[in-house]
Structure 1
Amino acid sequence: MKATVRSERRRRSGARGFTLIELLVAIAIMAVIAVLSWRGLDQIIRGRQAITSAMEDERVFAQLFDQLRIDARQAASDDESGQAAVSVSGSVLQIVRHMTLPGTAPRLQVVRYRVSEGRVVRYASPPLGNVGELRRALRGSEGNGWAAVPLMGGVGSISARLYVPKVGWTMQMNDVQNAITEADNNLKVPQLGSAPLPRSVTGLEVSVGGKTLARPVVRVFLVGE
C-alpha cells in the first residue's frame, strides 16, 4: 500500500504544465503568423482592387476613344460644313459630322467635347437639315435639343492638336484657315475649278489628363477615313 502511494506521488510530482515563458513564446509565434497572414491577405485584396480599377479605367478610356474615332471618321468635308469640319477652341473640340438615320436622308450634326466638373461630356446637336440650322448650331451654345452624354470622370483637362498637311501638328486655327484659303485659291485655276476642296485637317490627336494619371493619355485618329 505504501509503495503504491509513493509511486502515485512520484507520478504527480513528475507531471508539469507550461511555464509563463513558454506561453509567451507561443503567443508571440502565433502573433507573427497572424500578422504575416494578414499582410498577405491585404496584398491580395489591394492587388484585386488595383486590377479592378485598372480594368474599369481601360473600359472608360475605350468608350471615350471609340466615340472620338467614330466622330472623326464620320467628319464632314470643309465644303459641307462651310468652315473647318474639325476645330479646336480652348479646351473644346468640335466636329461637324455626317449622321444617317434609318429611313431618312443623310444629315449633318455638330458634336463638341468639353470638360465639365471633372468629366468629359459629349454634346451632340439634333440632326441638321439645312445650312441655316447648321450655322445656328455652329454659332450657338448647347441649347434645347442637344444631347449631353458624360463619357469619363476624373479628368483634369482635355486638349487636341490638328494635323494640317504642309504644316504638321498644330493647335492654331489660323493654320487651318490658311490651309482652307490656299486650297480655295487653288481651285480658282481653270483646270481645277471642278475639283472638291481638300480637307484642311486630316488627323486629330487628343490628350486626356487626370489627377490619377502619371501622364496624359494620348490617341491619334484619322479624319474622314
Structure 2
Amino acid sequence: MDTPAYHREFESANNILPQADQWNYDSVISPTAQHPAQSLNWFEAVIFCNALSRIHGLTPCYVLESTLTLSSDSGEITIPDWRRVPDANGYRLPTEAEFEYATRAGTSTAYSFGSNRHYLEYYGSWSNNLRVATARCGSLIPNPWGLFDVHGNVWEWSDDWTVSFSEEHQTDPRSTTPTAAGRAFRGGGISTFSGDPFSHCRGSALPNSRYRNLGIRLARNATSN
C-alpha cells in the first residue's frame, strides 16, 4: 500500500471478526480516521491482514500453528506462533528487504529524496520537526515511487524476525527464525530524532509489544493478473 494502514480500516476489519479473534480495539489509537492506526502489536497486525484479506476474497497469509517461547529481559515468555503461508495472495506485512527497496525507490542516498535532512519535514512526521502527533496519511510528499510516510509518521511492523545484517550480498532475504530481539519494524515514527529516518533505519521489539508510534503498512505478493 502507498500509505500506512488507516485507522478506519482497522474498525471495518475488526467488526467482521468472531469475538474471540477481535483485538483490543480501544488500544489502537489515532487522532482521526484518516490518520495511521497506531499502538498495535505484531499479532494484531497479522490478524488485521487476515481479516482484510477475507473482506476482499483473498487467501489469508497467516496461520496460527502453536506457541513458541522467547527469552526477554524479564525472563521467558510464551507467545502465539503465527506463520506466513508463502504463496497466499492476501495482505501481509512487508519483509525488511521489501520495505527498504520500496523506501529507496531506486536511490542510494541517505533518504529517497537525497541526502539533505532539511527536507525531511516535507516527507515525514518525526519528533524534531516539532510535530507532536502523526500526520494524516498521504498529506506529505511521497517518495519517487509514490509511497507516503516512509521517512516518518509511525514506525511500521515488518514480517521479519530481527537479525544482524550480513555484509554478504543477498537477494530478497527473509528472517523466519524466532529471535530474542523480536520482530523488526521500519520507517521511522514521531519519536525518531533528527537525521534518523534514513532509508535503512530499523528498530525491533517483541511481537507482543505495543508502542504509541508503531503501526503497519500492508503488502501483497505480485500476481500475473
TM-score with structure 1 setting the length: 0.23
Structure with larger RCO (C-alpha < 8 A, sep 6+): 2
Specify which structure has the higher proportion of helix. Answer: 1
Specify which structure has the higher proportion of strand. Answer: 1
TM-score with structure 2 setting the length: 0.23
